[in-house]
Structures are given as C-alpha cells and as structure tokens.
Amino acid sequence: MIRLLLMCLFAAISSIATAEKPNVLFISLDDLNDWVGCLGGHPQALTPNLDRLAASGTLFTNAHCPAPACNPSRGAIMTGISPHVSGLYDNRQSMRGQMPDAELLPRYFSNHGYWSAGSGKILHYLIDAKSWDEYYPPKETEDPFPPTFYPKKRPVSLPRGGSWQYIETDWAALDVTDEEFGGDWLVSEWIGEQLSKSHDKPFFLACGIYRPHEPWFVPKKYFDPFPLEEIELPPGYLENDLDDLPPAGKQRGPNRYFAHIRDQGQWKQGIQGYLASIYFADTMLGRVLDALENGPNKDNTIVVLWSDHGWHLGEKQHWQKYTGWRACTRVPLILRVPKGAPGLPRGTVAGTKCNAPVNLLSLFPTLTQLSGLPADATHDGPSLVPLLDSPNAQWPHASITYLGRPGNFGVSGRRFRYIHYDNGDEELYDIETDRYEWNNLAPKHEFANRIAELKAHLPKEFAEYANNNSGESLPDLKWTPFNGTDKLVSQPKGDKFEVRVSNEAGEPIKIFSIDSQGEKHSYGTLETGWSKPYETRSGTVWLVANAEGQPFGYFTVGDQAAHAVVPMPNP
C-alpha cells in the first residue's frame, strides 16, 4: 500500500513538474501579409490550417511587425530588443554585429531546462549555432535551408528588368511532388518527427516555413485552385492612392518592381504565385499541426504562429516590403495555450479574437511568462498574457514599426495608424472606416490630437544607424576565380577583425571559410545585392559558391579590414 501511495505521489509530482514547463511550438511563415482566410485579406486565399489554428486559440487581428524587413524584425523577435534600442534597422546589417551578446529565445529556454531545436528560416539567413541544442540542417552549417528544387533555367516567368531586380522575384508551377520539392516539406517532416516523440525535457521547437517568401516556385497542384483568368486584384489597390500622400510617402510608394511587372503583363501571374505559395505554406503548416495533434505532446504545448512582416502586391503602387503601410506591417499572430500553463492556468479560449494593437516584439516576454520562466529586464515589449486572459483587457500600448532608419516609423493604435518620416512628413489613417489607408487624414487640423496621442507612445531616443552597409571606405580584396583544382588552405594568424562581403553575382551565393586543414565551414547564404560583415583573421581563405554549392571563386584575407566584392560567375 505504501509503495502504491509513493508511486501515485511520484506520478502526481511528475505531472505537476511537466505542467509547470509546457512545450513551445514556435512557427514562422515568411513574408505573409493578411491574405489569410480568418483575416480576410484576399477573397481567394486558401488557408484552412491557419484558420483551424486560429479557431483553436487567440487570433490577434491588429498585430504588427517590429520592422518591415526580415533581419530587423526577426532580430527583434528573437532577442526581445527593439530596433530603436539595438540599432538593427535593415537587412544589410549584421544581427550579431549590432547585438553581439544578446541571448536569443531558444538559448534562454535552454538555460532554463528546455531542449531547444529548430528547422528552416528563423533568423535572417543564418542559424546562430550557439543559440540551439539541435537544428536541421545541422546548425554548424549556418545555412537554415534544406535542399529545395528550383528550375535550372531562370528566370521562368518574369524577365529581369535590370541588375536592380532581385533574382528571386519570379514564379512558376513546378511539375514535382511535395517531397521532390523538398524545402519546407523537409522542414515540416523534421519538425513532425520531433513532435511525434516523447522528450526527456520540455522543448522549445521552432519551425521556419520559408514560403510565401520569393521565389514563388511551388508544386503545380498549389497553382491549380487559382486559374489565371479568375485571379482577382488586391482589394487594397487604388489607382490614384498616392495623390494625398506627402513627398516622402510618394517616394516610398511606387517602385520599379510593380511598374516592371505590369509592363511585362505579369501582375495577375504574380498574385497567382503568391496565393499558390501561401496555400503551399499552409499545407506544410497542416503537416506540423497534424503531427502535434497525433503525438504525445498535444495537451501540453503552447503554439504560436507569426509572420515577420507583410507584403505589397500593387497597393500604393508598390511591390515587396520596406514600407510603413498596413499592407506591410500587419501580420498574422495566433497563440494557443493549453490549460495548466503557469502564466495562464485556464489556457486560451478557442475562437477568441483580439483587436488590441500588439507587436511581435512581445513574443519573447509572453512565452517566458506563459512558461513560468523569469522575466528579462532587457526585453522591450509588454507581455501579451493579459490579452490572452481577456481580449478586452485594458491595453495602454501602441504598436511601433521602425522603418529602416531612425525617425521613420509607423504607430498603430486600436483605430488609428500614424506614419512619420524623418523629413517631418506625416500620414494618418482611420482603420475603422478606411481599412486600406486610402484617405490620409494627417493634413486635417481636427486630427492633430489623434496624432499627438499616437506620438506619445514613441521612445525618447533612437539608436543611431550603424553605417556599416558599405565597404566603399575599405581597401578591396583580390578576387580569384576558382578553377576546380585549387587546393585551398588557410593560414590564420593574429586578432580577429571584419571583412565586408558584397554580393554582385546577380544570384544568391553561399559563403565558406577554409580552415588550416582545408576543410570548409559554412557561413550561410548572402542574397544578391546585399553586403554583410564576416569576422575573420589574417590569412583566412573564403570560398564562394553558387546557390547549388558549386564554387566559383575565393579571396584571401590580408592583415586589415577590407571589402570583398563577389562578381558574376564566368559563363
């Protein structure tokens, strides 16, 4: 009898301990705007799995990104540090260059008893190996992308308008299966395997689904539900939408991409590709959710889903991102909390919607509070737990999105949105009556108080932008074409310093350092047109390969900081 009682007591204690530390499933979709069924962004969007997740938890209908670009948004989410504090404002900066000692979300959970693992794109084209216990692809590669099928001859649909055009701005229906396509299918497969297991520790598991990021290449079956002749233009598009914008707004609006796409007669084809990519991403999400529901962790796992920023498909005559308008700042955000979570014992109520203005910067403090972990004073966003407990709770906060440089920002309230440019230009929109921001109210004196109310939420100081996105002031390193037989070996010596690599190859490249034994060490992918610093030492050889991993050149570091320009490969 005593033994039976002890066994029951031990089981109860174990159950309580497990309940005190729920698992976390942390899901990111890349470049997804509000074209989601439950957000009503486009009438043709097919997102049954996003919709079922929203129906099972809390959907934030007024959620915004910290910045309208991958690097600063993801950097802020994963560190809990706002761009105005870190100085990480755009894609061309280095996250670790701006925040060398910041503790990322997975490492924080690991340091508090969790197993932290991930797969796919969570940070901006790197893994940050020291922040994870395990990763797929292996964290040592610093390349978060599994093998993915891409057409050998590119572009497929959209001719390049010039060197300014991102090579991945293209779309096509591929004659392959999901498994043959790889990419996000492999991510969902690996994440599903982890969710199907019992683990010795609670887990923090990050799933980075890359679509609908460009290129919009996905298997043909995801294009089939969207016949080209039935494609509808974005509901937020208005031909004369720029007429009431100030000069800075008009400058941010029209870009060469949208004009080129229309000139090529590819607008509806682009929309079709985006819708198909969303449907594909949603299907991969469904595989992950099914694995959770059918596995041993379904009753003790917090699920959070977010996108790093939105996307324009012609609204404000713009294509891509990098703006302060709602099409770009508003993102899907869903949280589902099981009963028994330390920070929310009753869990979330299925089907709840919350229209409070929230920001993805709040994810770090929210997850630590929900999991019963200590708060971190370095985190800049307020926890969302009060809203998860009661969606109509008092919420004295606004959501701020930082736009590339200090002095440029968007502020979202419950009803009004304010955009400010560093030259003093302003925009104001009443989202309740003007969902698509067609009517700029800022010039009207009767709305001055509304602007003042939103500006009151702004920080007093902004970190300066570190002007390290160019190597123009640095000496150039010699570029040597790779002939296929070169035996590359480094002879590193001295202290570490930075070499800036600029990709002018016209396509994404893979960067490798070579050690003293001639072994390659991956430093991930560098997108075309981008420049990034890499920490190195004198005598180190850096090898450059194309997207398929075929080397085409290298450079050897001298005894000082320098600029390495990667040219187009020889045909």
How would you write 478-508 as a 3-class SS string? CCEECCCCCCCCCCCEEEEEEEEEEECCCCC
CATH code (residue 526):
2.60.40.780
Active-site residue identified among 38, 64, 65, 70? 70
Segment among 34-48, 207-221, 397-411, 454-468 with least mean pLDDT: 454-468
Q: Which helix (H) or strand (E) holds 388?
A: helix 385-389
Give φ, ψ of 294 to 5 degrees. -95, 5
Instruction: Answer whether 310's CB lies under 8 Å from 343's CB.
Output: no
pLDDT beyond 70 at 19: no
Instruction: Answer whether 302's CB lies under 8 Å from 343's CB.
Output: no
Instruction: Answer whether 277's CB lies under 8 Å from 220's CB.
Output: no
Among candidate residues 390, 405, 435, the one where a domain is terminated: 390
Residues 186 and 322 in one domain: yes
Given this model, what pLDDT does residue 7 score?
Answer: 45
CA-closest candidate to residue 35, choices 385, 349, 391, 281: 281
Residues 249 and 381 in one domain: yes
Q: How confident is the model at residue 440 (pLDDT cuts 50, 70, 90)?
A: very high
Tell whether 122 is covered by a domain. yes
Tell whether 432 is covered by a domain. no
Residues 357 and 490 in one domain: no
pLDDT beyond 50 at 16: no
Residues 175 and 294 in one domain: yes
Tell whether 12 is covered by a domain. no
Residues 158 and 286 in one domain: yes
Among candidate residues 367, 390, 413, the one where a domain is terminated: 390
Given this model, what pLDDT does residue 108 score?
Answer: 98
Q: Which residues lie below 8 Å from residue 215, measured CB to CB, with a gap of 6+? A: 150, 168, 169, 170, 171, 172
Residue 120, both tokens = 């796919």
Higher pLDDT, 278 or 11: 278
Active-site residue identified among 84, 124, 260, 309? 124
CA-closest candidate to residue 30, choices 227, 284, 267: 284
What's the first-to-final CA gap in the chain, in angstroms?
A: 81
Tell whether 70 is covered by a domain. yes
Given this model, what pLDDT does residue 561 score?
Answer: 82
Residue 188 CB coordination number (10 Å): 25
Residue 167, both tokens = 């090579």
Helix H segments across 426-498?
448-455
- pLDDT tens sequence across 160-195: 998 888 889 999 999 999 999 999 999 999 999 999
Across the range 318-344, mean pLDDT stands at 98
70 is an active site residue? yes
By DSSP bridging, strand 352-354 and strand 58-60 are: parallel
CA–CA dist 353, 123 (Å, integer): 28
Given this model, what pLDDT does residue 537 score?
Answer: 87
Tell whether 208 is covered by a domain. yes
CA-closest candidate to residue 117, choices 243, 26, 221, 249: 26
Per the structure, the count of domains in the chain is 2
Residues 170 and 269 in one domain: yes
Tell whether 557 is covered by a domain. yes
Q: Domain of 485?
A: 480-566
Tell whether 552 is covered by a domain. yes
Among candidate residues 390, 405, 438, the one where a domain is terminated: 390
65 is an active site residue? no
Give φ, ψ of 491 to 5 degrees. -130, 70
CA–CA dist 549, 59 (Å, integer): 41
CA–CA dist 253, 70 (Å, integer): 19
CA–CA dist 284, 141 (Å, integer): 24
Average pLDDT, the chain: 93
pLDDT beyond 80 at 123: yes
Given this model, what pLDDT does residue 314 score?
Answer: 98
CATH code (residue 133):
3.40.720.10
- pLDDT tens sequence across 335-344: 999 999 999 9
pTM of the shown model: 0.87
